[in-house]
Amino acid sequence: MATVFEGPLAKTAVPSDEATQRKTRTPGEGGTWIFILGEMLVFLALFAFFLFNRIKDPNLFRTSQPLVDKTLGLVYTLVLLVSSLLVVGGIQAIRRRNTALAPWLLVGAAVCGIVFIALKCVEWAHHLNQDQTISTNEFWTWYYVLTGTHALHVLIGLGFLAFMIVEARKPKLNGEQFALVEGGACYWHMVDLIWIILFPLIYLMV
C-alpha cells in the first residue's frame, strides 16, 4: 500500500485502498474545520436574511426571481460538480504519489472555477444592463450579496487550488503538508456545497 507520508507520521498514513479498514480520521486538520464551519455558519445567516426579506415582501420576490436564468443556474451547478470530482481525483492521485496526474486534475478543477467566475460576471453584466442593480429592490440586493459572497469564496478556493497544485508536484508530502492539501480540498467542496443550497434558493424556488 503506497503512502505519501514520511517521518514520524508515516505510521498514520491514510489508506488509499477502499478495501482496507476505515479508520476514524479528520480530513485536513481540526483548525481548518473551525474555519470551514465558520464560513458555513456565515452562509446560514445569509440564507436566513434572504428569506426574512422574502417573508416581508413575497410578491416582490415572486416578480423579481423569474428574471434570473434557471438554466444558467443549472450550468453553474454542473461546473462545480465536475470541479469537485476533479478535486477528489486529485487527492487520490496525491495519495498514490501520481505526481504526473495529480496537478493536472487540480488544474482542471481550477479551470472549472474560472469558468464559474467568468459566467457569473456575464450574468451580472446582463442584469446590470437591464437596470437590475444592487439598489433596485430587496431581491436584487440579496441576489448580489449572496452570489457575490459565494463568488468571493470561489476566488479564495482558487487560491487554495493553486497551493494544492504546487504541492501535488512534490514527490513526497509530510503529514502536515498533506493535511493542508486535504484542508484545501474540503474548502473547495464547501464552496460546491454552499452552491447546492444557493441554486434552488435563488434560481428555482419562486
Partner 1 sequence: MTALLNRRVTFVWAALVGITMVSWWLGVRYGLDDEQIAAVGLMVLGYVKVRLIGLHFMELRDSPGWLRVLFEAWCGVACGGVLLLFLLS
# residues near partner 1 by CB under 8 A: 54
Q: Which long-range contacts (CB under 8 A, 24 or more apart) does 126-134 make?
A: 127/67, 127/68, 130/67, 132/64, 132/67
8 Å CB contact between 149 and 105: no
8 Å CB contact between 7 and 175: yes
Residue 135: helix, strand or coil by DSSP? coil
Residue closer to partner 1 (CB basis): 71 or 129: 71
Which of 2, 42, 166, 205 contacts partner 1 by CB under 8 A?
205
8 Å CB contact between 205 and 64: no
Site for partner 1 in 89-118 (CB under 8 A): 89, 92-93, 96, 98, 101, 105
With binding defined as CB under 8 A, does residue 137 bind partner 1? no
Sign of CA dihedral 139, 142, 146, 148: positive
Q: How far is the CB of 80 from partner 1 (least distance, A)?
A: 10
Site for partner 1 in 146-175 (CB under 8 A): none
Site for partner 1 in 16-55 (CB under 8 A): 18, 22-27, 33, 37, 40-41, 43-44, 47-48, 51-52, 54-55
Q: Which stretch binds partner 1 (CB under 8 A): 132-140, 147-155, 171-179, 184-192?
A: 184-192
DSSP 79-122: HHHHHHHHHHHHHHHHHTT-TTTHHHHHHHHHHHHHHHHHHHHH
Q: Which residues bind partner 1 (CB under 8 A)?
A: 18, 22-27, 33, 37, 40-41, 43-44, 47-48, 51-52, 54-55, 58, 61, 70-71, 73-74, 77-78, 81, 84-85, 87-89, 92-93, 96, 98, 101, 105, 185-186, 189-190, 192-193, 196-197, 199-201, 203-206
